[in-house]
Structure formats: C-alpha cells, structure tokens
Structure 1
Amino acid sequence: MMIIMPLALPNKIGFSSPFLYKPSTTRGGGGGGGGSSCFAFTCRSVSSLTSFTWDGVVQASQADYAPNDSSDLSGFFEKIKYCNRGSSEIKSEFIPLVIEDQIVGYIHNGFFYNYLRRFKDVFVFVPSDSRFGTNVTLNKTLSTPEERTRVVGKVIECLAEEEKELIPGIRNELYPVAPSFGSPPYFSIERAAATYFGIKAYGVHMNGFVKSDGEKFLWIGKRSPMKQTFPGMLNHLVAGGLPHGMSCVANLIKECEEEAGIPLSLSNQAMSVGAVSYVDVDGYRYERGVLFCYDLELPGGFIPKNQDGEVESFKLIPLENVANVIRRTHFFKPNCSLVIMDFLFRHGYIGPECLGYLDLLQSLRSGDTS
C-alpha cells in the first residue's frame, strides 16, 4: 500500500517530501472516483501572473479557501472561455487558406496585407471564388509538398528575422498542413507560425495519476521560467505538440522520457481516452487545437524527473485540490486545464447533478475535431 504523507513529515517509504502534498482539509466522504460529486467552492481568481510559488498553489487548493457552492461550475467555464476567445465578428477578419480545393487554415487580412502580400511568387490573393469567396492560396507553380514546405519556410524565416516579435519562439519543428487528421499533408509549416496561418494543430497530453486508499492524485509540473511560451505556469505530467511524420504513440513515449523521465516500461501502458479541442483567436493568431488525451496510472514509488530542462519541478497533488486550482486561478497553462477537466469528468469528479454539466462537457470539444 502506498502512503501519501504531509510535506512536514519525514520520508519513510521512498517519496521525497518536496514532491508530496496532502491537504490539511479534505472533502468529507473520501472521493476516490467511485461516485460523482460537485466541488464545494466557488471560482475565485487568485492571480494571472506566472511568478507564483508552490505555496500559492497549495493555498488556492484548500477546501476552505473559498465559500461553498456545490452547483457552481463557473470557474471551469471561465477556463473554457479563455481557450476559445474571439467573437464571430473578429473571426470574420480572417481569410480562408485554400490548398487543392480544401480549406486548411485561416489568415488574418491584416497579416496578409502587411506581411504576406509582397511574396507574390508564394501567396496568391483570390478576391472572389464561387466556393470559398475571398481566400488565399499558394502559387500554382508550387506543386509538391516538399517545394511548398521549403518556400513557405523561407517566408517565415524572412519575417522572423525582420520582426523578431512577430513570430516568436521559432523551434525548427514542422507541423503538417492538412484538411483533417491523418490525411496526406499538402505541406508542412514551422510550429511557431502555425497559428498565424490558422492550421489545425494536434498534440498529445497525458495525465499521470496515482491511487492511494481510494483517492486519486495527479502529478503536476511547473514549467521552466525560461520557456518561450507560458513560462512558470502549471502543466499536467506530459504534453507535446504532434510534429509532422510522427505517430501519437511514438510522440507520447518520447515526451514521457524527455519531460518526466518515464521509462518505456511505464509509458507504453498509457491509455488513449479521447480528445479535447478549442478555437482561440487573438490578434493575428487563429489557433485550432486538438489534444489527444491519455491516462497513465503510475506506481507509488515513481517520481518524475525532467530531462530536457523544460520543467522546473513536480508535485503530487490530490485530484480534488488540482480541480480547485483550475477553478480558482490562472496558474495552469490554459489548454492543460481542458485536459484535466476531461479527466475530472471521466473519473467521476464532476457529475450530472452539477448545474451546467452537459454544457461544460460539450464545451471541451468546442473546436473542429476532424
């Protein structure tokens, strides 16, 4: 049997105390996922800054930190809304990117006119089309995926050199550009530029959990402050974008090793459990995300160790307390909140007696999952 001990107690079973957190106040009636329940608290925004500490996370997770309201899911809806910004009016400012008679993305008209229009040998503006209306396509002389990838890549390099803040975080990692998942890509594009072209981007996200005495705990990571995106924020255990030419399983195994030091003997036991999706429009960026979700039950003696410098530290936290942090704060990287919410539904921690249950469940797939 695994014993989870408070941080203040000495380690006697192989867990290092800095990794463990046991709240002093717990929900009555256990809560190991055997029955659904509504959490007894309301949404309370603590901070949107990324300079918080683990002590701040622990404080926000406490059951007695906020007033009780067992039917309130507003904190979860707030996170859904944050991942799905952009009114229909704002979305109308984007022009379809059409390749071989298929819409593969969306480009803001300002981004096209200010930055892409001058590359006339690459991008072609179509003012009117019987099927797609106004749209952008690639020059017909670019007829192969390899040629398109090379030429569009040169444009992105040029823009990144001219204005370093325009497309930050160049990774030299390619995402496939295709109308749907698994279909042959028309070309590939630099990951950092994917949202500027509104292509559908996929990722693999895994919740690593531990069971003890009928209660579930999630391993939570705090991102390195040196990360180019969302530095210092919280993640579930493992996540990574799905690059061109790699399967979901292969990518998950790679990310498990790099981000948490999870060996193949454990990572190959991860279970595929579905997907969440969202559409987030902000400025010139049109993010269409689809995240394939995985669960991995880990043994009590396993402690994650980051291998690539992207995670500062890990904590093992009771699932209900993780949910509290999501509802009350902006500490989690936004799309990671969606993946954990999906876990909460599937493990019975959000039940149909909660007002808005079905709406929240549906909103976890607000984007196109094709």
Structure 2
Amino acid sequence: MMAIIPLALPNKIGFSLPFLYKPITTRGGGGGSSCSAFTCRSVSSPTSFTWDDVVQASLPDYAPNDSSDLSGFFEKIKYCNRGSSEIKSEFIPLVIEDQIVGYIHNGFFDNYLRRFKDVFVFVPSDSRFGTTVTLNKTLSTPEERTRVVGKVIKCLAEEEKELIPGIRNELYPVTPSFGSPPYFSLERAAAPYFGIKAYGVHMNGFVKRDGEKFLWIGKRSPMKQTFPGMLDHLVAGGLPHGMSCIANLIKECEEEAGIPLSLSNQAMSVGAVSYVDVDGYRYKRDVLFCYDLELPGDFIPKNQDGEVESFKLIPVENVANVIRRTHFFKPNCSLVIMDFLFRHGCIGPECLGYLDLLQSLRSGDTS
C-alpha cells in the first residue's frame, strides 16, 4: 500500500471534454508543482459555490503551507459524530418487545409525543433498561404500529412544518440490527427523532485513464430538501423497508445517474462505514454500505430524477483535497470517500494517525 500519492500538476489543468475540469491557472510561479496529495487544512465553505471553486480548492498549491497530516479528514469524521455522552444521556431508549430499537430525546417526548397516550407509553423504571419509552401493548403487529405511528408523524408535521422537515412518504424499517424482522416501519424524515438505525447505499463511480483514477462527483440540486447544492456521490440513497441493498443500488443508479443495468449489476460491495450524530432532538445512527463501480471511460452520467444539478469527473487526489480543505461535500459522503482512499492505496500506514482514522470510519454500531 502506498502511503502518499504525490500530485504534480502543470500550470494549466485542461481536458477536451466538458464534464472534466475547465482550464484553471494555478497559483504560484512557473513550472510544475509537486506536492503531497494529502496536505490538510480545512476552510469554511461559502453558502454557495461553483465547480470553479471546487477545482481551485483541489489544487496542490491552493494552500501551500498546509501540514502533511490527516487533520482535515478527522475534522469531517468529528462533524459526523457530534454529541457528548452528557448530551446522549438526554435520550430515552425506545424499547419494543424487550429490544432497544431507538432513542428519543426527553424533550421531544414531553413536548410532542407524551400526549399521544394511546400510542406511546412512558416507563419510568424498566427492570432491564431503566427509564424507557415503548408502544401501547394494544399495538401488537408491525402493520398496526406502522399505521398508528405514521398518523402521529403526519399530525406533528401538519402542526409544525419545521419540526420534522422533508417528509418523503418513504418508510425505514425499525429493527435492532440489520436483517432482523422489523417491529414496524417509520417515515424516513422522522428516523433521527426516534433514533432508529438507518441504512443506506453509497457508490463510488470511478474511471481509470492513463494509470490515474478519477471519481464521478455530483452536485445536488439547489431544490433538494436536505443539503441543497452540496457535492455528493455519483449514486447514493437510503435503504427503504422491504428492499435489498443491491436492488436499491440498481434503482438509484438508473434514477440518479442513468446507469443501465448492464453496468450497475457489476458494482462491487466493499464494506460499510458508520457514525452517530446527535444534534438537538435528532439522534442519527447510520450505517452506509459502500460499493465501487469502475465505469467505461466514455460513460457520461445523466440524472433522471431532477435531484442532481450536474456531474464532474475529478482526479481522486483532487477529491481528497476538497474533502480536507472545504465543507463542500455532504458530510457522510466524505466518510465513504475516505474509505475508498484507504482501499485504493491513497492513504497508507506511514501517514500519522492512519489507524485512528481507519477505525473512526466505523464510529457507530455496525450491527
């Protein structure tokens, strides 16, 4: 495994195809500049940015005084794993049939859920878990629970538009671990407010040219309800109830990038990353299944569902620079791309913090 990939670029970066980088003059003097692909410094992103901003931030001499550690990567991991143990203690376990399936903030329960006494039951002293929340025992089947809890979510969303934004009418399974039979299903937008485990699929679509690897990167539509206008994977999506990972990936490939089945069914499962993000009433416990797909050099993605504004094909080393130096990427995408960098030899054990960074990509429960 290579520890660091040196990146030498001429004064002009230019390619003949419009979806690749536009020519941009680098900062600094004449001649080629050789710089570690893993120099790090984070800078705040503006509220909006262009592809030209992305290209500038990716260049080796954009920040010539950067250190050569992995601090920029650690910052992105920290952002995805917010919440101290003290803050987490403000959440009450959601228990169904003697299994913890989620966590609900005590303020969210008191202010919004407690009044639905025929649905939610507060248990002040459970023999196994202490103080808990459960569902009324009259709700004995997954179908009943899904229907009744769904009514509560709809009611809350109608009363306070900003309480649970982004209602999608898409259901996530409520389960203690991946593959276990769900106790009920929950509106996707409400998943963090109930602290349930949520799963997704993210795919690195890459191309090899003249011995160099490039990643296809998408820029989310400014109309997206979440993370509008930010950089994203070529293909990614949450895993809804009743659908396998590969079936969901194939569906997302077609919808988000126009990738035909003849290509998408070649995607390789390569592992998973996880994180726990606690912010206000929200307790995100996400596991992202990672896939790699090597695409033909002449393939050009075409979004089909209106959720992606545009795509660019960017050298892997430059993508790494953007992750470290900016906040242009949707936060959890950074974790999946870091995993790609490890597996493709872009980060090696000679890098200070190598093992800590590798371990921190799975900071959440991966069960």
Asked if these proteins are the same fold (TM beyond 0.5), I'd say: yes
Choose 39-48 or 312-321, whichever is displaced more: 39-48
Asked if structure 1 preserves the Cα contact closer than 8 Å seen for 2:4 and 2:348, the reply is: no
Distance 1:5 1:102, change over 3 A: closer
Distance in 1 between the 2:113 and 2:191 partners? 14
Distance in 2 between the 1:45 and 1:35 partners? 24
How many Å apart are 1:39 and its aligned residue? 4.0
Asked if structure 1 preserves the Cα contact closer than 8 Å seen for 2:2 and 2:347, the reply is: no
Per-residue CA deviations over 1:207-246 (Å, capped at 9, x if unaligned) read 0000011110000000000000000000121000000000
Distance 1:212 1:68, change over 3 A: farther
Per-residue CA deviations over 1:83-121 (Å, capped at 9, x if unaligned) read 000000000000000000000000000000000000000
Q: Matched residue of 2:24: which SS?
A: coil
Distance 1:40 1:12, change over 3 A: closer
Asked if structure 1 preserves the Cα contact closer than 8 Å seen for 2:8 and 2:34, the reply is: no
Q: Matched residue of 1:8: which SS?
A: strand
Distance 1:14 1:34, change over 3 A: closer
Per-residue CA deviations over 1:144-186 (Å, capped at 9, x if unaligned) read 0000000000000000000000000000000000000000000
More strand by percentage: 2
Distance 1:44 1:12, change over 3 A: closer
Q: Matched residue of 1:127: which SS?
A: strand
Q: Matched residue of 2:201: which SS?
A: strand
Q: Matched residue of 1:146: which SS?
A: helix
Q: CA RMSD in A?
A: 5.2
Aligned to 1:112: 109
Distance 1:35 1:114, change over 3 A: farther
Q: Matched residue of 1:134: which SS?
A: strand
| Unaligned runs of at least 5 residues, structure 1 | none
Distance 1:243 1:102, change over 3 A: same
Distance 1:66 1:9, change over 3 A: closer
How many Å apart are 1:21 and its aligned residue? 1.9
Asked if structure 1 preserves the Cα contact closer than 8 Å seen for 2:218 and 2:232, the reply is: yes
Distance in 2 between the 1:346 and 1:33 partners? 34
Asked if structure 2 preserves the Cα contact closer than 8 Å seen for 1:160 and 1:166, the reply is: yes
Asked if structure 1 preserves the Cα contact closer than 8 Å seen for 2:222 and 2:229, the reply is: yes
Q: Matched residue of 1:152: which SS?
A: helix
Distance 1:265 1:4, change over 3 A: farther
Distance in 1 between the 2:201 and 2:31 partners? 27
Distance in 2 between the 1:15 and 1:299 partners? 17
Distance 1:346 1:23, change over 3 A: farther
Identity of matched residues, %: 94
TM-score, structure 1 normalization? 0.91
Aligned to 1:168: 165
How many Å apart are 1:190 and its aligned residue? 0.1
Per-residue CA deviations over 1:52-80 (Å, capped at 9, x if unaligned) read 00000000000111135564100000000
Distance 1:303 1:2, change over 3 A: farther
Q: Matched residue of 2:351: which SS?
A: coil
Choose 62-71 or 242-251, whichever is displaced more: 62-71
Asked if structure 2 preserves the Cα contact closer than 8 Å seen for 1:272 and 1:293, the reply is: yes
Choose 2-11 or 82-91, whichever is displaced more: 2-11
Q: Matched residue of 1:205: which SS?
A: strand
How many Å apart are 1:358 and its aligned residue? 0.2
Distance 1:338 1:24, change over 3 A: same
TM-score, structure 2 normalization? 0.92
Distance 1:355 1:142, change over 3 A: same
* Aligned length in residues: 367
